[in-house]
Structure 1
């Protein structure tokens, strides 16, 4: 633990030149997030696709790790290159559901600096289904994002662009750092990369409104009095996101809603409700004897 806290302090001292430091209770943060373990959350998923609601499951994995500022990848040996090390809070979000005969598998990854007061340094998203696969990556360079999209759709193909806005996907990790880190009011956002893969809307900055309110009802084992709602609504992009989270540290995600208008004008609301949570070093749980842990997480 002392070694981890030392590395965290070192990262803070070496990264203050890139946007200042965040105002967070790092004693509480470190006690929870620097255990050498990840927080695993599983959710019952209701996902709209092709105008119909599909049943599936979603997983949120939150974990801190040392990231290379130069290469924007996980550092294998951060102690060997401490000047390049940057502590990040990583989110891996997965969704799995079936459309008719064939399955969808979607994954989002977000890497947000813990100490540097800057947005996510990298966001990636991939979608696999029987028609083909797509991949999107955002890399923060010079205060903007270099966006690259690789798609099997003819009208999209391979694209590169520069976007000056914060990724919507960064809100998940900012929320877990501390809700005070979430900007509210009118902002420019890059809409969720996974949603963009479903809508095939052009990948660009969009005007949005962010607000945080108290929940009107309980959800997933949380009383309404213990929940807050982070809501993102866009001016012209067809999407509204609501994240339901615990108002007390570590600000666990109870569930979320994604709302948009379908082609027939009907409002489609995709929902995820938490069913289980586990804090563990899952990367060491890779043998057959560990498969019962999936039942504890209520995974199919």
Structure 2
């Protein structure tokens, strides 16, 4: 009896140590994370973009804005009151793509809200997506509720005019970008799993919003010189059913800067690969830079559109 009591105690201690080790693995607990993400500035990156649409590649530009903020858990909006106990810090991504097709342009905007306390909140809490082009507009929103995502959608297009449903929980492609910044490389999702494709890709292809089987892998980048950075990692996502591939390229070392991506899918019966290559990254409190003189930062970021 004494022997079994000792075994139980040892197993309990090992379990506690494992839990503590997992807790220590949160990147948000590290001093380098605090120094980088909590100094009152956003990280802004600009990218040269070639976006597939209408059976051809279209020139454009992408912007990624990462910033931390307090996020209300009940209303799932930015905290602007003193109710700190109702909020948790998130890493917010505003992901903007703009490109021109012939006479008219597209503007596609996705916002992702992922808690930095990844052990306590493993799922992204909210994703919103808006798309504007000369034919019309569309809107999508996912809110994490009841162990899944509540979907709300509105669109100019008849087949997408009203969408409201509850999706079973699955990894979101849109949250991979924030998870790259919040997790150690060995904690990133890999293997075969169901994943909800990005809101932008679904709208461009006019596909229903549902999870698809995806094959996900990580490996050192061993490609050509298109993507530049220190010790790059190639994050590969393959959707066998829809024949779509996404590759994300980021730096191995913290803060895991994203240097570009490539996305292959069929448009107008032609398989094309969209690409985005990093131009410039700065840290800046952009919300304070709203005067005419502050356009200098747009020049610094080489923003054209």
What is the match of residue 204 of structure 1?
Answer: 210
The whole-number CA distance in structure 2 between the counterparts of 1:219 and 1:75 is 40
Moved more, 57-66 or 233-242: 233-242
What is the match of residue 167 of structure 2?
Answer: 163
CA deviation profile, 1:197-238 (whole Å, cap 9, x unmatched): 001111111111111111013444425xx1001111112123
CA deviation profile, 1:237-261 (whole Å, cap 9, x unmatched): 2321110000000000000011112
Aligned length: 276
The whole-number CA distance in structure 1 between the counterparts of 2:241 and 2:227 is 31
Name the CA shift for 1:75/1:117 in 2 (closer, same or farther; >3 Å).
closer
8 Å contact kept, 2:52–2:267: no
CA deviation profile, 1:140-191 (whole Å, cap 9, x unmatched): 0021001111111112210111111121111110001123332110111111
The whole-number CA distance in structure 2 between the counterparts of 1:99 and 1:22 is 48
What is the match of residue 8 of structure 2?
Answer: none
Tell me if 1:246 matches 2:248: no
CA deviation profile, 1:106-156 (whole Å, cap 9, x unmatched): 001100010034121000111001111000000000210011111111122
Q: In structure 1, which of residues 102, 109, 112 is the aligned counterpart of residue 111 of structure 2?
A: 109
| Higher Rg | 2
Name the CA shift for 1:181/1:74 in 2 (closer, same or farther; >3 Å).
farther
What is the match of residue 62 of structure 2?
Answer: 58
8 Å contact kept, 2:150–2:166: yes
Describe how 1:262-273 pairs up with structure 2 within 5 A.
262-264=267-269, 266-273=270-277
Q: In structure 2, which of residues 192, 195, 202 is the aligned counterpart of residue 186 of structure 1?
A: 192
Tell me if 1:142 matches 2:142: no
What is the match of residue 290 of structure 1?
Answer: 294
TM-score normalised to structure 1 length: 0.89
The whole-number CA distance in structure 2 between the counterparts of 1:150 and 1:261 is 25
What is the match of residue 261 of structure 1?
Answer: 266
The whole-number CA distance in structure 1 between the counterparts of 2:56 and 2:239 is 23
TM-score normalised to structure 2 length: 0.87
The whole-number CA distance in structure 2 between the counterparts of 1:117 and 1:148 is 22
8 Å contact kept, 1:45–1:272: yes
Q: Following TM superposition, by how much is the alpha carbon of 1:24 offset from its aligned partner in structure 2, in angstroms?
A: 2.2
Q: Which runs of 4+ in 1 moved over 4 A?
A: none
The whole-number CA distance in structure 2 between the counterparts of 1:221 and 1:118 is 31
C-alpha RMSD of the superposition: 1.4
Residue ranges of structure 2 left out of the alignment (5+ in a row):
1-21
The whole-number CA distance in structure 2 between the counterparts of 1:22 and 1:89 is 19
The whole-number CA distance in structure 1 between the counterparts of 2:97 and 2:194 is 26
